[in-house]
């Protein structure tokens, strides 16, 4: 309800009435702009070949249901939280590759009794000290360039992890995830039971170098794993590649195929377990998965 004095002045003084009208209009435009998703077209070819290759790329991300198992959210109800299968089997160790100031996922995973090995070169230590946290100040990469760089294969070869065949992992390393997975062979990846990844820069798919790494990353990963959940990160826009809009940054959960029964999912994304990464904006609607693969004519 408006303040009576303000309302009285608003009605009596034309200037104030016009000013309030303009403020109301600006508020309406701002609300409309915030509610509309941003679309950013990729700069590059939209040839039939790119359209086909992008659809084939998306086909690797086909979500699946896991009959007899439920999904659960681990981490914050915002950026930093991920939807995973609520089953870790015999897992004892987890990897958190890229943490920054946000370790809510790590905390929830540690609460399940897992030891969490954290890797991040951008912070000097874990923002929270927990008995089950083991922090390493290293940059996680696909190809080492310096003494503090480490690969996923090197991490899994550590004495504490060398014999573990049921590792749980989270990867959020700001664009380096494609090269990391492209350079990690499927035999090594098979040691990971469940994995959540934040993928970024979809708009770069039109660039041949990026596309090569992106396709290799998903081929290596999906050789033994299947997607069970996908969510668009609304801190970024939709990228439009070959006329197909898709979140420029998105989060995916994979499980090892050998551990679970799976069937293609008819679920609509986002789901009731999802939350917008930026709580001030609406979530990105992906919908039901339907990306046919067609070769260029």
Per 3-state DSSP, the chain is made up of helix, strand and coil in percentages (nearest 5) of: 30, 25, 45
Q: For position 180, what pLDDT does the model report? A: 97
Residues 6+ apart with CB under 8 A from 64: 226, 227, 228, 262, 263, 264, 265
Using an 8 Å Cβ cutoff, are 179 and 141 in contact?
yes
Please report how many Cα atoms fall inside a 13 Å half-sphere around the Cα of residue 268, on the Cβ side.
Answer: 4
191 has pLDDT over 80:
yes
- Ordered by start, the domain boundaries in the chain are 1-36, 38-288
* Residue-wise pLDDT tens digits, 204-222: 999 999 999 999 999 999 9
If 0-12 CB within 10 Å is exposed, 13-18 middle and 19+ buried, where does residue 149 land? Answer: middle
Give the number of other CB atoms < 10 A from CB of residue 135: 21
35 has pLDDT over 60:
no
How large a percentage of the chain has pLDDT more than 70? 82
If 0-12 CB within 10 Å is exposed, 13-18 middle and 19+ buried, where does residue 127 land? Answer: middle
* Residue-wise pLDDT tens digits, 113-166: 999 999 999 999 999 999 999 999 999 999 999 999 999 999 999 999 999 999
Q: For position 31, what pLDDT does the model report? A: 46
3 has pLDDT over 70:
no
Using an 8 Å Cβ cutoff, are 284 and 246 in contact?
no
Q: Architecture of 38-288 per CATH? A: 3-Layer(aba) Sandwich (3.40)
Q: Which residue has the higher pLDDT, 266 or 38?
A: 266
Q: Which residue has the higher pLDDT, 41 or 254?
A: 254
* Residue-wise pLDDT tens digits, 41-95: 665 667 788 889 999 999 999 999 999 999 999 999 999 999 999 999 999 999 9
Tell me what the pLDDT averaged over the chain comes to. Answer: 89
Whole-prediction pTM: 0.85
Q: For position 292, what pLDDT does the model report? A: 66
* Residue-wise pLDDT tens digits, 163-184: 999 999 999 998 899 999 999 9
């Amino acid at each position: 309800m408006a303040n009576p004095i303000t309302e009285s002045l608003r009605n009596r003084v034309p200037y104030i009435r016009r000013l309030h009208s303009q403020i109301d209009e600006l508020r309406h435009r701002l609300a409309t702009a915030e509610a509309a998703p941003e679309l950013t077209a990729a700069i590059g070819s939209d040839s039939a070949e790119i359209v086909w290759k992008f659809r084939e790329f998306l086909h690797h991300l086909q979500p699946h249901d896991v009959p007899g198992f439920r999904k659960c959210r681990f981490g914050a109800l915002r950026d930093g939280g991920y939807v995973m299968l609520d089953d870790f089997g015999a897992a004892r160790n987890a990897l958190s590759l890229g943490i920054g100031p946000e370790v809510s996922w790590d905390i929830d995973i540690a609460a399940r009794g897992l030891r969490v090995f954290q890797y991040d070169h951008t912070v000097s230590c874990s923002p929270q000290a927990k008995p089950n946290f083991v922090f390493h100040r290293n940059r996680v990469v696909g190809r080492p360039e310096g003494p503090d760089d480490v690969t996923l294969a090197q991490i899994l070869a550590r004495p504490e992890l060398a014999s573990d065949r049921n590792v749980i992992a989270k990867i959020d390393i700001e664009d380096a995830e494609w090269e990391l997975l492209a350079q990690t062979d499927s035999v090594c990846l098979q040691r990971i039971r469940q994995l959540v990844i934040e993928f970024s820069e979809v708009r770069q798919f039109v660039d041949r170098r990026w596309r090569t790494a992106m396709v290799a990353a998903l081929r290596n990963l999906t050789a033994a794993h299947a997607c069970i959940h996908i969510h668009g990160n609304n801190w970024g826009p939709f990228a439009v590649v070959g006329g197909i809009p898709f979140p420029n940054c998105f989060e995916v959960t994979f499980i090892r195929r050998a551990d679970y029964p799976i069937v293609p999912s008819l679920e609509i994304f986002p789901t009731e377990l999802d939350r917008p990464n930026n709580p001030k904006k609406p979530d990105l609607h992906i919908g039901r998965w339907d990306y046919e693969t067609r070769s260029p004519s």
